[in-house]
Every structure is written in C-alpha cells, then in structure tokens.
Amino acid sequence: MWQRQSLRIDSGTHGRGGTVHARSPVTIDLNRACVAYDALTRLDKLTPVGSPVRFSGRGDDTRLWQSPAVTRDEPPVPVHLPVGGVRTLPLVVQAEPSRQPDQPQPSHGSRG
C-alpha cells in the first residue's frame, strides 16, 4: 500500500489515505475498541475506462460489506463497517472477472 497524505477524492482533500492495486488486501489491526470504520473509496483516474472492481471489508472472518461493481468515472463509494468486537479488518479491492489479471488498477481510499 502506498500511504498518502492530503489525498484528493473528487473535490475533497483528506488528511490520510492509501493507494493499492486490484487484488490487494490491506489488513488493519484494530488496537483498541472501535464501533465503526468509515471511509471513502474510488478508482484512480489512471484506471482503464470500463475496468470494474469491487471493494469489500471483512471483520475477522466475516464479510461486513461489499460494494457493487464500480468503474473509474463513478463517484466515491462511502464505506461504513460496523466493527464492534472486531480485531482485524481486511479491506480488499478485487477486479471483476472480465479484467485481465496482469493489469494493475490503482484505487484510492481515505479514512473519514
């Protein structure tokens, strides 16, 4: 994951965020009691047009949320994960099956 400062998503600037390629899981170890994880996510403008991905979040071993298939020209997808009692939070960007697996797709996420 490429950690970013002052990440821009649409017209907003966010203090912290990161960029990963499709098929990239990022695991967040929750080191204290948390109730929710909130973020915005979207595809980078360098992603080929028409190359959809799905974003998902898991709490330990249970899927908590999955986005619909999104493409680069769509607005940011809000993420809200209820994480009460969760210890690890894997966040995943996965290309839709129609994609060529060897072509990376940059995507951004910013914790709100």
pLDDT, tens digit (0-9, with 9 covering 90-100), for 90-103: 988 888 876 454 45
> Please, which residues bridge with residue 8 across strands?
13
CA distance between the termini of the chain: 18
**Which CATH number does the domain 2-111 belong to among 3.40.30.10, 2.60.120.1060, 2.120.10.30, 3.40.50.1370?**
2.60.120.1060
Instruction: Note the pLDDT tens digit of each residue in 41-59.
Output: 888 777 777 778 899 999 8
107 and 43 Cβ atoms separated by less than 8 Å: yes
This prediction has a pTM of: 0.71
10 and 75 Cβ atoms separated by less than 8 Å: yes
51 burial class (0-12, 13-18, 19+ CB within 10 angstroms)? middle
- Which pLDDT value is given to residue 12? 65
The series of mean pLDDT values per 10 residues for the chain, 112 residues long, is: 64 66 78 87 75 88 91 87 90 75 52 53
Considering only CA atoms, which of 23, 25, 30 is closest in space to residue 94?
23
